[in-house]
Every structure is written in structure tokens, then in C-alpha cells.
């Protein structure tokens, strides 16, 4: 389940960047969606980099949650909760690392106020951790049910 969750997270996150770039008039120059490497999408020129950059983590959280809400099965919620916490942890770790190619340093360089990154990380990790932990405990205890509430 973790491997499937990782693939869904990377694909929805990077597809978010692709959609954000396309909607904001950015030109895609390079893209690698292979989940066994760190996937990336590069746009240049990018007239609205904040749209392109924020679309990744935002759609990386929203799309799996919408899918889980429609499917209403335990494994869809497991994936959605993984995507929630993973997107928050990614932005937090990218911030700490300062690597200029990762999303958070690029968001900050494009003009995002650090408070917005902090809020995104706090919400996704704060809500994601207990939800994902609970899902993991259920799977490990073999208590998964066919249909379960959000």
C-alpha cells in the first residue's frame, strides 16, 4: 500500500504542477514523472510561478481526497491520508534543506510568504499524521472495513 500511495502522491503532485503551468501560460521545458526517482516538472518561461508551484501540493492533496470521497473504501482513504501527510512533509523538508530545485525554496523565491508555507505544512501534517497513523494501525490490526467514514 505504501508503494501505491507513493506513486499516487508523486503523480498527483507533479500533475498538479503540469496543470498549474498549463493554466497559467507556462511553457513546459522538462518533465520526469518516474516515481522511482524524484519526479519533477520544469517550466520556462513561467509567467505565474506561484500558480504552477502551489498547484502541485494543493492538487496532490485534493485529488486523492476527492477520489477517496467518491470510492469510500479503506484503501482509497489510506492513499489519500498518505498524500496529505506526504505533501506537507515534503514542503517542510524542502524548506529545511534549502535545495533550490525543490518546491519550497522555489515558492519562497517566487514571493510566497513563509507563513503560507508554514500553514500548509501545519495543516497537512497536523491533520494527516493522526489520520494516516490510524489507517496504518487498522491495516496492521487487519481491521479494515469495506466502507468507512472520512
Rounded mean pLDDT, 115-140: 95
Going by C-alpha positions, the residue among 68, 87, 88, 89 that lies closest to residue 78 is 68
- Please write the tens of the pLDDT for every residue from 46-80: 999 999 999 999 999 999 999 999 999 999 999 99
pLDDT per residue as tens digits for the range 2-52 = 999 999 999 999 999 999 999 999 999 999 999 888 899 999 999 999 999
Span 81-117, pLDDT tens digits: 999 999 999 999 999 998 999 999 999 999 999 999 9
At 143 the pLDDT is 63
What sign has the CA pseudo-torsion 97, 57, 68, 15? negative
Single pTM value for the model: 0.91
Amino acid at each position: 500500500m505504501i508503494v501505491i500511495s507513493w506513486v499516487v502522491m508523486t503523480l498527483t503532485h507533479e500533475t498538479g504542477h503540469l496543470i498549474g503551468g498549463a493554466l497559467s501560460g507556462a511553457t513546459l521545458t522538462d518533465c520526469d514523472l518516474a516515481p522511482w526517482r524524484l519526479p519533477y516538472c520544469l517550466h520556462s518561461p513561467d509567467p505565474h510561478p506561484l500558480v504552477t508551484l502551489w498547484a502541485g501540493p494543493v492538487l496532490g492533496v485534493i485529488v486523492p481526497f476527492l477520489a477517496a470521497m467518491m470510492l469510500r473504501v479503506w484503501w482509497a482513504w489510506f492513499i489519500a491520508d498518505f498524500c496529505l501527510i506526504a505533501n506537507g512533509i515534503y514542503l517542510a523538508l524542502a524548506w529545511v534543506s534549502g535545495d533550490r530545485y525543490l518546491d519550497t525554496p522555489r515558492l519562497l523565491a517566487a514571493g510566497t510568504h513563509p507563513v503560507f508555507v508554514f500553514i500548509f505544512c501545519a495543516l497537512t501534517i497536523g491533520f494527516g499524521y493522526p489520520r494516516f497513523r490510524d489507517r496504518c494501525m487498522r491495516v496492521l490490526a487487519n481491521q479494515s472495513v469495506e466502507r468507512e467514514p472520512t
